[in-house]
């Protein structure tokens, strides 16, 4: 148990070892946050990230490993964070499974995996964190997807899971107000999936995006920072960080 709460605000980030999650961690750490950084199987990458962060600003990080499909393990992520830092000011639900599920081939195992990471874990983490966030007038940010509103063919289960997470964002904003703000970010083309999306498909997506380019992980991370730190009268909103793609036909 820590003797005194950290002097800096504390945020728990899931899926923090790589890609957008790692960029969110770097951005928040640079803005003065202490961080609890979760991973599932990316221990080496998270260790390298933590080494970079602590070289830049001494201590202020906690590494957590868990399988988010294990609901019983979720309260421990919150409890270990509070035990280490004495407070919890923010929760960023970033971890997400993403893979195709063409209709006619979908299994219950695929359904469970996609809903576990994209809907069930964020909900039960929010539930476990709620009392600590209330103490700090904190905030939750859920990483959503524009496909929650405009489903991607062949990815029906993922899209449904993200739609459920978007509904959860609005519901929790009601449940946890007025102390806790709950918002979501729906990125467009920021980082391409590590599998799929041929070059022709990528070019078509960019051509139909008003800003005619992909975004960056930093674009998403800066929106997360704004929602956590600066957007004091914003709750129950989904911010589309997509270059205008969601308004395209």
| Alpha carbons within 13 A on the beta-carbon side of 109 | 1
- Please enumerate in sequence order all residues whose Cβ is within 8 A of that of 57, keeping only pairs 6 or more positions apart, or say none: 29
CA nearest neighbour of 89 among 220, 221, 228: 228
Least confident of 67-76, 102-111, 156-165, 208-217: 208-217
CA distance 10 to 5: 10
Q: Let me know if 33 is a catalytic residue.
A: no
CA nearest neighbour of 63 among 160, 217, 53: 53
168 close to 142: Cβ distance less than 8 angstroms: yes
Q: What is the pLDDT of residue 121?
A: 98
CA distance 220 to 141: 11
Q: What is the pLDDT of residues 198-224, one digit of tens each?
A: 455 778 888 888 888 888 999 999 999
Q: What is the pLDDT of residue 211?
A: 84
Strand ranges (DSSP E) for the chain? 10-13, 34-39, 61-65, 90-93, 139-143, 181-187, 238-241
CA nearest neighbour of 45 among 23, 27, 28: 23
pTM for this entry: 0.93
Q: What is the pLDDT of residues 16-63, one digit of tens each?
A: 999 999 999 999 999 999 999 999 999 999 999 999 999 988 889 999
Q: What is the pLDDT of residue 193?
A: 65
Domain boundaries, given as residue ranges, for the chain:
10-244
Q: Does pLDDT of 91 surpass 60?
A: yes
Q: Does pLDDT of 1 surpass 50?
A: no
CA distance 26 to 18: 11
Query: What CATH number belongs to 10-244?
Result: 3.40.50.720
Q: What is the pLDDT of residue 202?
A: 74
The pLDDT-based confidence of 194 (bands split at 50, 70, 90) is low
Q: Quick one: which H or E segment has residue 130?
A: helix 121-136
């Amino acid at each position: 148990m820590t003797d005194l709460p950290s002097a800096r605000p504390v945020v728990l980030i899931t899926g923090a070892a790589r890609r957008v999650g790692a960029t969110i961690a770097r951005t928040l750490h640079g803005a003065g946050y202490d961080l609890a950084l979760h991973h599932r199987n990316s221990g080496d990458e998270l260790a390298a990230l933590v080494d970079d962060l602590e070289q830049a600003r001494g201590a202020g990080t906690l590494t957590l490993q868990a399988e988010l499909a294990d609901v019983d393990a979720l309260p421990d992520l919150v409890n270990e964070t509070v035990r280490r830092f004495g407070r919890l000011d923010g929760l960023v639900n970033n971890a997400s499974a993403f893979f195709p599920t063409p209709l006619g081939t979908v299994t219950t195992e695929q359904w469970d995996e996609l809903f576990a990471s994209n809907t069930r874990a964020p909900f039960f983490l929010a539930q476990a964190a709620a009392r600590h966030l209330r103490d700090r007038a904190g905030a939750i940010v859920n990483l959503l997807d524009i496909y929650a509103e405009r489903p991607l063919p062949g990815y029906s289960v993922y899209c449904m899971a993200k739609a459920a997470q978007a509904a959860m964002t609005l519901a929790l904003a009601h449940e946890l107000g007025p102390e806790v703000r709950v918002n979501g970010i729906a990125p467009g083309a920021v980082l391409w999936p590590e599998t799929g999306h041929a070059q022709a498909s990528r070019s078509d997506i960019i051509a139909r995006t008003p800003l005619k380019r992909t975004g960056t992980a930093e674009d998403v991370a800066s929106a997360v920072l704004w929602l956590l730190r600066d957007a004091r009268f914003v709750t129950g909103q989904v911010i589309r960080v997509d270059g205008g793609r969601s308004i395209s036909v």
